[in-house]
Amino acid sequence: MALQSACIPLPSEIIMPFSGFLVSQGIFSFWPTVIAGTAGSLFGSAAAYLVGAYGGEELVRKLIKKYGKYLLVFEYELDEAKEWFKKYGEAIAFGSRLLPVIRTFISLPAGIAKMDFKRFSFYTLAGSFIWTAVLTWLGVKLGENWDKLGSYFHKFDLLMIFLGILAAAWYVHHKLKKHRRRNS
């Protein structure tokens, strides 16, 4: 969760439900899992915030130019995030924690905008707690019903793998197509 919140796209949509599954199996406990996920989110977000705050927009743009293509992160997305931040203010620090993809990168523009760090931390903590708790709970519910669902899902293993690969390919294609359109 710390890596995802530090702008490395490791999906919390996989990490926390799997952790919830482990809760359902008795390996983890629910609240410590939620707290650990939330703390990881806060830690990673703080790191990204500090890069934005102390490195400034120039450093962030330089990093995006150099490494962004490997993570499918582009400069115009930083501009979009900055505009969202201007339009919605500090509330975006909370609301973005509940949105896939956006939640990964919003800390950089918050740091660039020099949002009050205590308020940023509070909003990040609150939003991340909700997101982490919901995803963990979903994982617990899936795990509790795995015996019922497992045999049903196994019938569709190859289809699910194919759809997962197709979804990933569509996402990469969509991101690159949008990038090419914006740069032409």
Q: What contacts 153, CB < 8 A, 6 or more positions away? A: 160
Q: What is the DSSP string of 104-146?
A: HHTHHHHHHTT--HHHHHHHHHHHHHHHHHHHHHHHHHHHHTH
Band of the pLDDT at 143, cuts 50, 70, 90? confident
Band of the pLDDT at 46, cuts 50, 70, 90? very high
Question: What are the distances in angstroms from CA 16 to CA 29, 42, 114?
Answer: 13, 15, 30
pTM greater than the 0.85 cutoff? no
Residue 150 and residue 140 share a domain: no
The tokens for 106 are: 């919003």
Cβ–Cβ < 8 Å for 99, 4: no
Band of the pLDDT at 156, cuts 50, 70, 90? low
Band of the pLDDT at 19, cuts 50, 70, 90? very high
* Greatest mean pLDDT among 24-38, 45-59, 146-160: 24-38
Q: What is the mean pLDDT of residues 90-100?
A: 80
Q: What is the mean pLDDT of residues 67-80?
A: 80
Residue 81 and residue 48 share a domain: yes
pLDDT of residue 20 exceeding 90: yes
Residue 78 and residue 160 share a domain: no
pLDDT of residue 32 exceeding 90: yes
Residue 156 and residue 134 share a domain: no
Residue 67 confidence (pLDDT)? 84
Q: Name the residue range of residue 173's domain.
A: 146-184
Average pLDDT of the residues of the chain? 83
Percent of the chain with pLDDT over 70: 91
Residue 110 and residue 51 share a domain: yes
Between residues 91 and 149, the one the model is more confident about: 91
The number of folded domains in the chain is 2
pLDDT of residue 133 exceeding 80: yes
Residue 78 and residue 168 share a domain: no
Q: What contacts 132, CB < 8 A, 6 or more positions away? A: 1, 12, 16, 34, 37, 38, 41
Residue 159 and residue 70 share a domain: no
Residue 160 confidence (pLDDT)? 65
Residue 30 confidence (pLDDT)? 96
Rama region for 115: left / alpha / beta (φ>0; ψ in -120 to 50; rest): beta
